[in-house]
């Protein structure tokens, strides 16, 4: 480590900041792709003739691919070099973005989104490692903060600009919008990123990695298609669940018995790390679900254009940026307090949205989204402090990989669960509310109960049926946000079980 820091201090200052700008661009590029597609989910659903649960695959399978590839980012960078990993990752991500814009069916779009997630997954962890190498230790805080601006800027820029582009040119241009950023990042990596010499050829535990990849993919597929196929009444779901359970069993047995397993089981003996993984799982569940639920709610039920939806989603990024002003001081005092404020902010936001009705206002959605982003920012920093405060230096890479993998998988899993809640609640409530639209309901014979509608006319009856379905769908979205609120409240009693490091210790 000392040799690395000595090399860092001898690097020209201008070059350090050019490297910082390059890797920050790569981070912003990856952050944009997660949020930019959410704005155009309703538009893609209509263009590709997809159902609400099917169009969610565009987001969930991207996150699953990221979760699977993230744990091997360290191995890839040592085996092939950080520069090569960044070049291939950026180039593959850019090409996948072009293919997403050219996709002619839902299946091909999901496939190319998987490519985006797989190629983009190493960009964030490798970028962070490059920054810590190129800057001396005394500047790590400043460099990391500047690099983190890419994570914050992406979720603001992506939905805002993407909404206007989609409204004027169509959903395909949202993906084409990423291409210039990808090419600029590629040029920066080619010009400024260099590799440090490494020793040896690291070995990857392919058995453990493949078993975990199959388990994650099978579980995601089960939750994505379960509601549509009737869950365990479907042979397909039974087979997928069995494959996932078998792969998970093989993974657990393998890492418990192998000499050099993919993930060291001794990591989980660390109380703070194991508790942090549980908190990270619930943090991941809360991270992206609202960004998948809100766009179709606004466009399908309220008729808002893509540009307005993009601006509303950007308020979440603004709240996230505001949290960085507060979180550092609060976390330095007691990270558990910052963590509690973060989860509580998301719970308040979810509860407030769950109390909306069909006549929700722009201001109501703006402040709840901003509060949600504030909660995400307040959670991120103290969560990493608690998780890694008691991890030994030689375990940091492996622990970080497990953390990011679990967080991304939790995000994709909860999106699928929320979409299933919306679909099922909509179906049940449409049946219950629609039961009142019957010739046997004598109340409908009185003008004061039907207003200007004449339910003896087919067109008027269809109008009433459409309103029933709209109200039923709104109930479905509210139920999903009630579940969101419950998940945000669950971590609050667990936070205080974390053991804080003694002040003044490294």
User: What per-residue confidence (pLDDT) applies to 1?
Assistant: 41
Q: Does pLDDT of 5 surpass 50?
A: no
Count of other CB atoms within 10 angstroms of residue 482 = 15
User: What per-residue confidence (pLDDT) applies to 402?
Assistant: 79
Q: Does pLDDT of 477 surpass 70?
A: yes
Q: Are 43 and 166 in contact (CB under 8 A)?
A: yes
% pLDDT > 70, the chain: 83
Token pair for 207: 């058995």
Higher model confidence: residue 321 or residue 133?
A: 321
DSSP state of 438: S
Higher model confidence: residue 228 or residue 505?
A: 228
C-alpha 354/C-alpha 159 separation (Å) is 23
Mean pLDDT of 80-108: 90
Q: Which of 263-267, 424-428, 438-442 shows the lowest mean pLDDT across its residues?
A: 438-442
Q: Are 307 and 163 in contact (CB under 8 A)?
A: yes
- b/e code 265-281 from CB counts within 10 Å (16+ = b): eebeebebbebbbebbb
| H helical segments located in 41-177 | 41-47, 52-55, 57-69, 73-80, 82-102, 106-120, 123-134, 140-169, 172-176
Q: Does pLDDT of 456 surpass 70?
A: no
* pLDDT tens digits, 102-134: 988 888 999 999 999 889 888 887 887 787 677
The 3-class SS string of 199-254 reads: CCCCCCCHHHHHHHHHHHHHHHHHHHHHHHHCHHHCHHHHHHHHHHHHHHHHHHHH
Higher model confidence: residue 468 or residue 462?
A: 468
Count of other CB atoms within 10 angstroms of residue 392 = 10
User: What per-residue confidence (pLDDT) applies to 67?
Assistant: 77
Token pair for 157: 């820029």
Q: Does pLDDT of 487 surpass 90?
A: yes
User: What per-residue confidence (pLDDT) applies to 6?
Assistant: 44
Token pair for 419: 């979409």
C-alpha 386/C-alpha 371 separation (Å) is 23
Q: Does pLDDT of 98 surpass 90?
A: yes
Q: Which of 261-270, 337-346, 388-397, 485-494 shows the lowest mean pLDDT across its residues?
A: 388-397
% pLDDT > 90, the chain: 15
C-alpha 181/C-alpha 189 separation (Å) is 12
* Cβ neighbourhood burial of 232 (10 Å; 0-12, 13-18, 19+): exposed
C-alpha 247/C-alpha 39 separation (Å) is 35
* pLDDT tens digits, 182-195: 899 899 889 888 87
C-alpha 199/C-alpha 216 separation (Å) is 32
User: What is the three-class DSSP state of 56?
Assistant: coil
Q: Does pLDDT of 482 surpass 90?
A: yes
Longest dimension (CA), the chain: 87
Q: Are 94 and 190 in contact (CB under 8 A)?
A: no
Q: Which of 190-199, 289-298, 444-453 shows the lowest mean pLDDT across its residues?
A: 444-453
Q: Are 484 and 290 in contact (CB under 8 A)?
A: yes
Count of other CB atoms within 10 angstroms of residue 69 = 22
Closest CA to 110 of 124, 96, 122, 120: 96
State the average pLDDT for the chain.
Answer: 80
User: What per-residue confidence (pLDDT) applies to 93?
Assistant: 92
User: What per-residue confidence (pLDDT) applies to 284?
Assistant: 86
DSSP state of 356: -
* pLDDT tens digits, 257-290: 888 777 778 778 888 888 888 998 998 888 888 8
C-alpha 261/C-alpha 207 separation (Å) is 9
* Cβ neighbourhood burial of 21 (10 Å; 0-12, 13-18, 19+): middle
């Amino acid at each position: 480590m000392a040799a690395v820091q000595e090399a860092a201090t001898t690097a020209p200052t201008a070059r350090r900041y050019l490297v910082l700008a390059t890797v920050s661009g790569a981070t912003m590029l990856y952050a944009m792709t997660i949020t930019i597609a959410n704005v155009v989910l309703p538009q893609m659903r209509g263009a590709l003739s997809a159902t609400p649960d099917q169009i969610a695959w565009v987001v969930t399978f991207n996150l699953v691919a990221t979760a699977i590839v993230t744990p091997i980012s360290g191995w890839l960078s040592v085996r092939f070099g950080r520069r090569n990993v960044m070049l291939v990752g950026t180039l593959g991500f850019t090409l996948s973005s072009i293919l997403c814009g050219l996709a002619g069916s839902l299946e091909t779009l999901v496939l190319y989104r998987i490519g985006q997630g797989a190629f983009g997954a190493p960009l964030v962890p490798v970028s962070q490692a490059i920054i810590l190498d190129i800057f001396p230790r005394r500047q790590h805080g400043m460099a990391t903060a500047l690099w983190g601006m890419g994570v914050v800027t992406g979720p603001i820029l992506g939905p805002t600009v993407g909404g206007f582009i989609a409204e004027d040119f169509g959903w395909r241009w949202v993906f084409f919008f990423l291409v210039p950023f990808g090419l600029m990042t590629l040029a920066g990596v080619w010009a400024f990123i260099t590799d440090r010499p490494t020793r040896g050829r690291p070995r990857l535990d392919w058995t453990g990695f493949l078993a975990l990849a199959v388990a994650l993919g099978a579980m995601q597929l089960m939750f994505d298609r379960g509601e549509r196929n009737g869950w365990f009444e479907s042979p397909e779901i039974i087979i997928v669940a069995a494959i996932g359970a078998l792969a998970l069993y093989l993974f657990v047995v393998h890492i418990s018995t192998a000499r050099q397993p993919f993930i060291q089981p001794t990591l989980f003996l660390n109380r703070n790390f194991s508790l942090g993984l549980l908190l990270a799982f619930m943090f991941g569940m809360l991270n992206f679900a609202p960004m998948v639920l809100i766009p179709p709610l606004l466009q399908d039920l309220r008729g808002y254009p893509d540009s307005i939806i993009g601006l509303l989603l950007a308020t979440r990024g603004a709240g996230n940026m505001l949290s960085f002003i507060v979180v550092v001081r609060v976390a330095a005092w007691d990270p558990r307090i910052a963590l509690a404020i973060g989860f509580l902010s998301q719970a308040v936001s979810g509860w407030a949205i769950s109390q909306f009705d069909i006549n929700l206002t722009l201001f109501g959605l703006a402040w709840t989204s901003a509060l949600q982003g504030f909660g995400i920012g307040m959670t991120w920093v103290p969560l990493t402090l608690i998780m890694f405060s008691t991890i030994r230096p030689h375990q940091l890479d492996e622990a970080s990989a497990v953390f990011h993998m679990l967080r991304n998988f939790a995000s994709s899993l909860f999106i699928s669960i929320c979409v299933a809640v919306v679909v099922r609640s909509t179906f049940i409530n449409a049946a219950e509310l629609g039961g009142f639209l019957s010739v046997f309901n004598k109340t409908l014979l009185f003008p004061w109960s039907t207003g200007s509608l004449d339910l003896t006319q087919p067109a008027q009856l269809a109008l009433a049926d459409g309103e029933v379905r709209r109200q039923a769908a709104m109930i479905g979205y509210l139920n999903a946000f009630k579940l969101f609120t419950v998940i945000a409240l669950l971590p609050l009693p667990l936070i205080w079980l974390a053991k804080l490091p003694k002040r003044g210790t490294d």
